[in-house]
C-alpha cells in the first residue's frame, strides 16, 4: 500500500462577513485561479491543499548580509526529511442567516483565517464579533490570522481602502491574533503566505506537543486517520477530476 502523501492533516476555517472574498481565497489557493462571479456560500464549502512545513522548507532567519545586501543562503538541511501537511479548508457562510450553522463548523479547527474587506470598513468592525464566536467554540490553542482581502482595490488609481494597515495591525495585537496579512484573491498577492503562516504555526505547535493527534477535537491528525482522500470544493463536486487542489 502506498504511503500517505501527508504527515499531518489540519482543519482550517475561513470566517468573516459575506462578500469579503473567503471563497475566492480558497479557490485561489486550491486551484490557482480567480473567479469574479461566485455564488454566495450556503453553510460551508470545502477545499484542500497539501503544503510543505518545517525544515528544510522553512528557511532560517537571515544572518549577516553579504556585500551585495542579500541575506546568506539557507543552511543545508537536506538530511532533514520534508514534512507535509494537508490543509482541510472549510469556507463558511458569512451571512447572519447562517451564523448559527456556521458556528458549528468551528469545532475541531486548529487554524482560522479571519477575513475582512479592505474596501468596506463595516466588515472590519465585525471581526471582533467573529473572533469572539470562534473563541467560544474552538479549542483554546487555535491559530488565528487576520486577513485584509481585496488589496488590489487599494492599489488602483481610485484607492478604495477604508481600513489602514496600522488599524488592522493594532487590532490584531490587542486581540492576541498571530499576524495581519493583506491579500488579493484576484492577483494572488500574499494568498499562499496567509495560509502558510497558519500551517507553519500549527506545525510548531505539533512539535511542541500541543495536540493529541488521535483526538478529533484537536483539529490535527496524523497519517493514520482519514487516509489520503482529496477533498474538493463543493461547487466542483459534479465536475470530472482534473486539476485538483493539490
pLDDT at 169 over 90: yes
Q: Which fold has domain 8-57+82-220?
A: Rossmann fold (3.40.50)
Which whole number is the average pLDDT over 214-231?
65
Residue 238: C-alpha distances to residues 61, 150, 233, 235, 242 (Å)? 44, 29, 10, 8, 12
- Residue 101's pLDDT is 59
Give percent above pLDDT 70 in the chain.
74
For the chain, domain boundaries: 8-57+82-220
Mean of all residue pLDDT scores within the chain: 81
pLDDT for 76: 52
Is residue 214 scored above 90 in pLDDT?
A: no
In this prediction the pTM is: 0.80
Are 50 and 86 in contact by the 8 Å Cβ rule? The answer is yes
Q: d(Cα 97, Cα 99) in Å, to the nearest integer? A: 6
**b/e 174-205 (16+ beta carbons within 10 angstroms → b):** eeebebbbbbbbbebbbbbebbbbbbbbbbeb
pLDDT in tens, 113-159: 999 999 999 999 999 999 999 999 998 889 999 999 999 999 998 89
Amino acid at each position: 500500500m502506498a504511503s500517505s502523501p501527508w504527515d499531518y492533516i489540519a482543519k482550517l476555517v475561513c470566517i468573516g462577513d459575506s462578500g469579503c472574498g473567503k471563497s475566492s481565497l480558497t479557490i485561489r489557493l486550491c486551484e490557482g485561479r480567480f473567479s469574479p462571479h461566485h455564488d454566495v456560500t450556503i453553510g460551508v464549502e470545502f477545499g484542500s491543499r497539501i503544503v510543505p512545513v518545517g525544515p528544510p522548507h522553512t528557511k532560517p532567519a537571515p544572518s549577516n548580509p553579504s556585500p551585495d545586501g542579500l541575506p546568506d543562503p539557507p543552511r543545508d538541511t537536506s538530511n532533514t526529511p520534508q514534512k507535509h501537511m494537508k490543509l482541510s479548508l472549510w469556507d463558511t457562510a458569512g451571512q447572519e442567516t447562517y451564523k448559527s450553522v456556521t458556528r458549528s463548523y468551528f469545532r475541531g479547527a486548529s487554524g482560522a483565517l479571519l477575513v475582512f474587506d479592505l474596501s468596506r470598513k463595516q466588515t472590519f468592525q465585525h471581526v471582533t464579533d467573529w473572533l469572539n464566536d470562534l473563541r467560544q467554540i474552538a479549542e483554546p490553542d487555535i491559530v488565528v490570522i487576520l486577513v485584509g482581502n481585496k488589496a488590489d482595490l487599494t492599489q488602483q488609481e481610485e484607492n478604495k481602502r477604508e481600513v489602514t494597515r496600522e488599524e488592522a495591525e493594532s487590532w490584531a495585537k490587542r486581540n492576541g491574533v498571530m499576524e495581519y496579512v493583506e491579500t488579493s484573491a484576484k492577483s494572488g498577492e500574499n494568498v499562499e503566505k496567509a495560509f502558510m503562516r497558519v500551517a507553519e504555526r500549527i506545525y510548531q505547535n505539533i512539535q511542541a506537543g500541543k495536540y493529541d493527534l488521535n483526538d478529533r477535537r484537536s483539529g490535527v491528525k496524523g497519517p493514520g486517520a482519514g487516509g489520503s482522500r482529496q477533498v474538493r470544493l463543493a461547487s466542483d463536486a459534479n465536475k470530472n477530476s482534473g486539476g485538483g487542489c493539490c
